[in-house]
Structure 1
Amino acid sequence: MSIGEFDLIAKYFERPVRQAVLGIGDDCALLQPTPGMQLAISTDALVEGRHFLSTVAPERLGHKALAVNLSDLAACGARPLAFTLALAMPRVDERFLTGLAQGLFALAGQHGVELVGGDTTAGPLNLTITAFGEVPPQAALLRSGARAGDDVYVSGTLGDARLALEVFRGGCALPADDFEAVRRAMECPQPRVALGLALRGVATSAIDLSDGLVGDLSHVLRRSRVGATLRLAQLPRSAVLAAQPEALQRLCLLQGGDDYELLFTAPPSQRDAVQAAAVRGRVAATLVGCIDAEPGLRVLDAHGRRLGELGASFDHFKS
């Protein structure tokens, strides 16, 4: 016999809370931020067929649902505290729920963040998480702080998630091991929380790369009222992507979404501090360009020539 909503919550999602004042079981959760800190709040929805494929393993879906919210907190330099989950699904599938909870709580445990509430209902499969973090006053990393002369950095490598999507779409083929590597990048992104914390007081602006490098950097440029020049050859990529045709590499690097790496800016005087932050964050930080006073985004090829049409980033209502 299928279990009901409240038994489902108790069995798969209710956990004792250690940081929150009150967790699951009442109409509201109660959080107690550290005195003097500001709350950072992020919400993301994942919809089947739009943000993930029906073939994704439930463990990976649970991981990704939380990871994309933790990535937003990382981009603001916020320490994660707690999160809520709103889950809609066509029917109760206990195998699916077991895997989903496993992936969700495994990542939550890595970052010391706890589930404190949410909702469940019948409907098309989608997950909406709201994550709460804290950051000292005036310390949050924002999109609006980039200044002319700043360096532009990205963490990790870019483009593998888009490469996996191209394989799913039939646009290219990869050997099994290479496909699994890029598929893992798409389905199990790693939120750069430790790097975001280490960049407080070092970076002048930051954003996480969810919708593609061109589009996400454009948000920073717009909010900061500056321009930028990037060098395509300096964009970090995996060996799998580097082995692909140049046009496919360019598509994945510039327009590919779902990387969930951090893009950030910092003055040249902070280059040593940036690399020290990368060491603390246990991820590479690569210098890929600079911020210009002249508005607009310019991308140069390996010969220093400006690329023409850069393409559009992902848009939920146009893509």
Structure 2
Amino acid sequence: MLSEFDLIAQYFTRPARDTVRVALSVGDDCALIAPSPGMQLAISTDMLVEGRHFFPGADPFWLGHKCLAVNLSDLAAMGAKPLAFTLALALPDSRAEWLAPFSQGMLALADAHGCELIGGDTTKGPLNICITVFGEVAPGQALRRDRAMVSDDIWISGTLGDARLALAGYRNELALDADALEAAAQRMHAPTPRVALGQTLCGLAHAAIDISDGLVGDLGHILQRSRVGATLDADALPAGPMLSMQPQDVRRRCALAGGDDYELCFTAPAKRRAEILDAARSAGIAVTRVGTIESAPGLRLVGANGAPLNLQLSSFDHFASP
């Protein structure tokens, strides 16, 4: 077994790639980072707990990828550019065969987004991964949850529901063949943070959130903070490739209330539709218009024919039963 300092030195210490913004990295009591002149820091923390957020025995490479991806997704939702992150890691033991792929998966994604690992902590205990990520955004440009306006369009990036479909397969809630389960599970294990899209939406979109706990709940945060309501077309939601082959009821429930999508839900003025589509093309991701912000409070779900839907849905709650 490696000691605490040996495992940090072997798997999580390397020269800073960006010595301008990261003046001091791993190895001291604090790291030193500086945003670009005139920019604000955007900071977010997420914790992943074995048995709650991922299955025991999860592939360490993809777990390393995911634990950083969910944090980068928060920066994407604010339109922020990634700078750096810290890692707090509790491990039941310090095995090289786990640490090597875990660090490789995490640092490969970090390198893809120019995000430096600048410090953290390690200890012995049940597997628990906590990352704090730092980004930068121009003052007044952040895509906040409290900025949605009446008559805004509601947009979704990418596709929804395949991650929840995979979870249903793992739990034997639905019968999926091995190929369908493996394909759907890619969305659960290897989410893609929409960092480029978030940055291109600054100045175009009013409000945004990443879809981590399910669209109904996450859009609800925008509605609550912005003191508005919305009508959402459940049948306009872009279902994932595997989910699109399921019956309508399954499609609706997975797309509306499934977690782990890490797509962006954002609102923007109707007059910016062409610009939104151009921004999405430049970021290399499709976006779909799925609803409208309204003055009447609450979220109203309708089908393709405009008829109201009476669906009892709830998004993920960290303190509810799994």
Q: TM-score range, shorter-chain basis?
A: over 0.9
Where do residues 247-262 of structure 1 align in structure 2 (5 Å cutoff)?
247-262=249-264
TM-score (ref. length: structure 1):
0.98
Contact 1:60–1:103 under 8 Å retained in 2? yes
Equivalent residue letter for 1:51? H
Equivalent residue letter for 1:164? A
1:271 counterpart residue number: 273
Where do residues 1-319 of structure 1 align in structure 2 (5 Å cutoff)?
2-19=1-18, 20-319=22-321
* Corresponding pairs, count: 318
SS at match of 1:103: helix
Contact 1:141–1:203 under 8 Å retained in 2? yes
TM-score (ref. length: structure 2):
0.97
Contact 1:254–1:310 under 8 Å retained in 2? no
Task: Quote the offset at 1:71 in angstroms.
Answer: 0.2
SS at match of 2:43: strand
Contact 1:214–1:310 under 8 Å retained in 2? no
Task: Quote the offset at 1:239 in angstroms.
Answer: 3.0
Q: Determine the C-alpha separation between the residues in 2 that align with 1:200 and 1:178.
A: 36
Q: Determine the C-alpha separation between the residues in 2 that align with 1:276 and 1:265.
A: 16
Q: Deviations over 1:144-175 (max 9, x none)?
A: 11111000000000001100100110111222
Equivalent residue letter for 1:201? G
Task: Quote the offset at 1:210 in angstroms.
Answer: 0.4
Percent identity for Structure 1 against Structure 2: 58
Q: Determine the C-alpha separation between the residues in 2 that align with 1:303 and 1:280.
A: 32
Q: Determine the C-alpha separation between the residues in 1 that align with 2:243 and 2:313.
A: 19
Contact 1:202–1:273 under 8 Å retained in 2? yes
Q: Deviations over 1:253-276 (max 9, x none)?
A: 111001000000000110011011
SS at match of 1:131: strand
SS at match of 2:29: coil
SS at match of 1:100: helix
Task: Quote the offset at 1:24 in angstroms.
Answer: 0.4
Equivalent residue letter for 2:233? R
Runs of 4+ in structure 1 off by over 3 angstroms are none
Q: Determine the C-alpha separation between the residues in 2 that align with 1:175 and 1:55.
A: 22
Task: Quote the offset at 1:80 in angstroms.
Answer: 0.2
Contact 1:82–1:113 under 8 Å retained in 2? yes
SS at match of 1:21: strand
Contact 1:192–1:262 under 8 Å retained in 2? yes
Q: Determine the C-alpha separation between the residues in 2 that align with 1:316 and 1:239.
A: 27
Q: Deviations over 1:166-218 (max 9, x none)?
A: 01101112222221111110010000000000000000000000000000000
Q: Determine the C-alpha separation between the residues in 1 that align with 2:214 and 2:156.
A: 12
SS at match of 1:239: coil
Task: Quote the offset at 1:53 in angstroms.
Answer: 0.5
SS at match of 1:119: strand
Q: Determine the C-alpha separation between the residues in 2 that align with 1:126 and 1:145.
A: 34
Equivalent residue letter for 1:180? E
Q: Determine the C-alpha separation between the residues in 1 that align with 2:194 and 2:12.
A: 25
Contact 2:2–2:95 under 8 Å retained in 1? no
Q: Determine the C-alpha separation between the residues in 2 that align with 1:146 and 1:38.
A: 21
Task: Quote the offset at 1:54 in angstroms.
Answer: 1.5
Task: Quote the offset at 1:16 in angstroms.
Answer: 0.7
Q: Any unmatched runs of 5+ in structure 2?
A: none
Q: Any unmatched runs of 5+ in structure 1?
A: none
Task: Quote the offset at 1:303 in angstroms.
Answer: 2.3
Task: Quote the offset at 1:105 in angstroms.
Answer: 0.7
Equivalent residue letter for 1:17? A
